[in-house]
Copies of this chain bind each other. A is one copy, B any other.
Amino acid sequence: MVKEIVIIGSGAAGMTAASSARRTDPRAKITVFTEDTDVAYSLCVIPWAVEGKVAWENIVMHTPEYYREKKNIEIFTRTRVDSVDDTAKTVSAAGKTYVYDSLVIAAGGRVFIPPINGTDLDGVFIVRTLQDGKDIQSYLKNVRAVAVCGAGVIGLEMALAFSALGKEVTVIEMLDHIIPRTADKDMADPIQKHLESRGIKFVLNAPVQSVNGTGKVSGVTAGDKEYPCEMVIFATGVRANTDMPKALGFDIGQLGGVIVSQSLQPYKKGRLVPDIYIAGDMIQCVSAAAAGPAMSQLGSSAVRQGNVAGINASGGKALFGPVASPWVRVMGEKEIAGTGLSFGSASWYGIDAVCGKASGLTRARYYPGATDMTVKVLADSASHRLIGAQMIAGEGATGRINWLTSAIISGTTAEDFLVRSENAYCPPTSMVKDTVISAVEDLCKKLKDE
């Protein structure tokens, strides 16, 4: 009997689920419903596309036609799923009912927009779909100044793009430093300075109070001061889109995402729900660095979750483990990356964090092109386990943050890291003792002095 797999959502999680289900079961009938117009594109690229560094037509990897013809996956675009009946095992969409054997829900997240006046004016945008990006790009033509609300990584990348296009850019952040959710102030401040050197202005400790204008944006008020501008971008965080899980009675976690098993199945009053898998920005994960829940709303996490959901939905076996959620961003000439907990997030888990820090170079001291690198590592003062890291470097942050992620995931203590960790070395790509190791040395000293 041919298995019928229905997938709701065509983002990174949904489309990965579809492809992984196809690889696992070559015969299954696979149907995807999405409200989006395009499928299989990377949200993360929007800032670069708005800047013109990447062409729009290069972003979309495959069309719905490609999926139909090459992968035998049917995609209904611009089609909303109105309801799911998990007893009858059907979904209703566009007036029709579709039966499923397995259902993957990957309905993503929604940009949180603060409940203030003026967010419906012309010139207010969010950054969520390809169309948002295109709309921003065409609206930009008549814009001199932009206010970006939210100094998370997406806000900053948009700010960089606008700045590169010659716009006057002001980033407005409610908290006291940029990238507040995942970076500590001491690591965020140098990036802020770097962005200021490129002409971007920052207003911190200032919640957005209103968007002003008649018909279209003329300014934004934050911290009781008005900043004139013709465009406002809300990059104020993503909330799990839990409408459908709530309608189905699925358990929602403390952080607002759907609680799932390692197989990515939801629960209903504490009981595992069969034949339904949830992936992407909707779910609450388990932290790899602390006992407790964690959100992991990253493209890379969505792909991994989609893969697990797709394999399980099609009869394979896969698990999704605890998350450290490593991330990396390029901000002008600097890369900033992080993994696991920051000081701020550690305190949420009741963890007393101790940190070590070191500065060095990305190549041997004498080798041309060496750039600065600063690494911060955190351990919890009770077990001495590594729980987080952040770094700023001119190059090479990605692999190094994955390295530290691996150490966090495997429960390595700071002291054991020093005894057992090694780094590859050659003059054009590293120092003989990598700055990551120097930072852990500093951490061990701090732990000893505690």
Contacts and interface: CB of A to CB of B under 8 A. Distances in A.
A328 interface: yes
A410 B399 contact: no
A300 B430 CA distance: 10
A202 interface: no
Given A53-B368, A330-B429, A301 B406 contact: no
Contact of A300 (B42, B318, B409, B423): B423
B400 A321 contact: no
What copy number does this chain have within its complex? 2
Interface string A39-58: 00010110010000111001
A402 B420 contact: no
A327 to B, nearest CB: 5
B398 A321 contact: no
A409 B400 CA distance: 16
A117 interface: no
A302 B44 CA distance: 41
Interface stretch (A26-34, A227-235, A241-249, A359-367): A359-367
A113 interface: no
B304 A427 contact: no
Nearest to A319: B419
A377 to B, nearest CB: 13
A306 to B, nearest CB: 10
A260 to B, nearest CB: 14
A157 B85 CA distance: 65
B421 A406 contact: yes
A272 interface: no
Interface in A363-381: 364-368
A401 B421 CA distance: 12
A429 B397 contact: yes
B339 A424 contact: yes
Interface string A328-349: 1110000101010000000000
B330 A422 contact: no
A424 B53 contact: no
A405 B424 contact: yes
A320 interface: yes
Contacts of A364: 42, 44-45
A324 interface: yes
A402 B12 contact: no
A403 interface: yes
A127 to B, nearest CB: 14
Interface string A416-441: 00111111111111101110100000
B422 A326 contact: yes
A412 interface: yes
Nearest to A41: B366
Contacts of A403: 399, 402-403, 405-406
A64 interface: no
Contacts of A298: 425
A54 B367 contact: yes
A320 B407 CA distance: 17
Interface of A: 12, 42, 44-45, 48, 53-55, 58-59, 61, 262, 288, 298-301, 303-304, 318-330, 335, 337, 339, 364-368, 395-403, 405-407, 409-410, 412, 418-430, 432-434, 436
17 contacts: A42-B364, A42-B366, A42-B432, A48-B367, A304-B433, A335-B429, A337-B424, A395-B395, A396-B398, A398-B423, A401-B424, A402-B421, A402-B423, A402-B436, A403-B405, A405-B423, A406-B421
Those 6 A-B pairs whose CB atoms lie nearest each other, nearest first? A399-B399, A321-B420, A326-B424, A410-B410, A406-B406, A328-B424
